[in-house]
Structure 1
Amino acid sequence: MKIAVINPNTTASMTAAIGVAARSAAAPGTEILVGQSTSGPVAIEGPFDGALCLPGLLRAIARAEQAGAVAHVIACFDDTGLDAARAMSVYPVIGLGEAALHLTSLLAQQFCVVTTLSRSVPTLRANILRYGFERRCPHVLASDIPVLDLHRPESGARERIRALIAHGMQNGAEAAILGCAGMADLAAGLTQDLGLPVVDGVDAAVRLAETLVWSGHRPSKVGGWALPARLDQLAVTA
């Protein structure tokens, strides 16, 4: 089974870190095809960046299918381009945000999301509402640490994220979701430190993608995710 994990931004170091997390989550026999957009923003921190990354993301998915991928993970917690990707592919396409919310809903009654910048919060709130989790996930907390600063020691990212999860716990959260692919390597340590489930979207999305492939189900092409008539115009070499 080949599963593509696509970073929609153009930062190679982040793509490499996402690849490590994805391969750690994958079951034996699953091959992770790590890819990234070759055009667009260096980080996705709000709707403007999300719009810029779409052409490169869709081309990366098309290339992955040529390489044999039978499922795709869009490695951005905003679920950037999710509907467009589902419309162009006959294979399952999983967004980190949607996967993490569904998985966490099986672990806790109430949970929170901790993300990067405040301008990402409206997009995540809109997704939570769309997926039907607004009552169970009432809090989206921003660390106000940019994506590319998460692994700089001077940013204090881990301590800030830990404090925000603790704040969520004080307001009823029984689990937490890390709302950025760049936070993937923090989940295990925070789970141990805080004594509650801390869910990483990369891990959740890879496992869910495997489950859908094993189930034999493919996305419906009746209605909103029907294959677009102009799909052959997508240039995969750009």
Structure 2
Amino acid sequence: MRITLLNPNTSRAMTDKIAVAARAVAAPDVEITAVNPDVGAPAIESHGDEILAASAVVELIEADLRAGGSDAYVIACFGDPGLDAARELVDVPVVGVAEAAMHLAAIAGRSFGVVTTLTRTLGRARDLVERYGMSRACVSLAGSGIPVLDLEDTSSEAYETIARLCEDAVAAEADVIVLGCAGMADLCAALAVRVGVPVVDGVAAAVGVASSMARAGIGTSKRDEYAPPPRRAALVG
């Protein structure tokens, strides 16, 4: 089985970190490939960045399809940019890290809190909470003020900031913590020990969901909305 991770920003260092997190949870027979665009947004921290990210997701999938395609795709950005467009392109599973993390958190406990990067991204996080039907389960959303690229080399100060926000979420009755950035993947285990509740990394969650779907033969429905768009059908069909 081959799963391709799509990091829609241009940071190779972050792509490599995401790949490590994914391979740590993947089964031995799962090949993990992690890719990012050469040009575009260096980090996804605004609505404008998200447009570039969504375009990058589509372009990366199209390039992979021309090379033979994968058994599943994971969009490794917490805004899940381009998720619907990506699902139009393929009939295999396409999983967003925010989507997977929230669903697994809602299974692991009755409530969860999200700790993410910049506060300006909280609006998008709230939109996704509503889209994924998690408004009752999500009891807190907090931005750490830490830019995405600063997570490539997480200092003790950055870790402490994130840890304190996780503790605040637990105090707000969160049974589970969701880390709201793929670049936080390497903090998951230490934070779980510190705060005493499960901490969900979206990369690991999405790899688990995508691989389980692929093994079960559950792909992306082509009935209507996610049917190939006519102008691209010739390219990806």
Question: Which bracket does the TM-score occupy, shorter chain normalised?
Answer: over 0.9
> Residue 211 and residue 154 in structure 1: after superposition, are their counterparts in 2 closer, same or farther (change >3 A)?
closer
Q: CA offsets per residue over residues 55-96 of structure 1, 9 Å max, x none?
A: 222111122232441100000011111001011112110000
Q: Could you tell me which residue of structure 2 aligns to residue 54 of structure 1?
A: 54
Q: CA offsets per residue over residues 24-43 of structure 1, 9 Å max, x none?
A: 11111000111112221000
| Contact 1:151/1:157 (<8 A) preserved | no
Does residue 131 (structure 1) correspond to residue 132 (structure 2)? The answer is yes
Shift of 1:154: 5.1
**Comparing 51-60 and 222-231, the one that deviates more:** 51-60
Gaps of 5+ in 2: none
Gaps of 5+ in 1: none
Shift of 1:143: 0.1
Tell me the secondary structure at the aligned position of residue 18 of structure 2. helix
Shift of 1:138: 2.9
Does residue 194 (structure 1) correspond to residue 195 (structure 2)? The answer is yes
Q: Could you tell me which residue of structure 2 aligns to residue 112 of structure 1?
A: 113
* Separation in 1, partners of 2:217, 2:93: 10
* Separation in 1, partners of 2:190, 2:170: 17
> Residue 153 and residue 92 in structure 1: after superposition, are their counterparts in 2 closer, same or farther (change >3 A)?
closer
RMSD: 1.6
TM-score scaled by structure 2? 0.95
* Separation in 2, partners of 1:46, 1:112: 22
Identity %: 43
Equivalent position amino acid for 2:145 in 1: D
| Contact 1:33/1:69 (<8 A) preserved | no
Equivalent position amino acid for 1:103 in 2: L
**Match runs of 1:46-195 below 5 Å:** 46-65=46-65, 66-152=67-153, 156-195=157-196
| Contact 2:139/2:174 (<8 A) preserved | no
Equivalent position amino acid for 2:15 in 1: T
* Separation in 1, partners of 2:145, 2:229: 38
Equivalent position amino acid for 1:52 in 2: L
Tell me the secondary structure at the aligned position of residue 172 of structure 1. coil
* Separation in 2, partners of 1:41, 1:163: 29
Tell me the secondary structure at the aligned position of residue 43 of structure 1. coil
Q: Could you tell me which residue of structure 2 aligns to residue 36 of structure 1?
A: 36
TM-score scaled by structure 1? 0.94
Q: Could you tell me which residue of structure 1 aligns to residue 226 of structure 2?
A: 225
* Separation in 1, partners of 2:155, 2:218: 46
Equivalent position amino acid for 1:220 in 2: S
Tell me the secondary structure at the aligned position of residue 156 of structure 1. helix
* Separation in 1, partners of 2:206, 2:14: 17
Q: CA offsets per residue over residues 188-209 of structure 1, 9 Å max, x none?
A: 1111121110000000000100
* Separation in 2, partners of 1:234, 1:126: 32
Tell me the secondary structure at the aligned position of residue 225 of structure 1. coil
Q: Could you tell me which residue of structure 1 aligns to residue 27 of structure 2?
A: 27
Q: Could you tell me which residue of structure 2 aligns to residue 11 of structure 1?
A: 11
Task: Tell me the matched-pair count.
Answer: 235
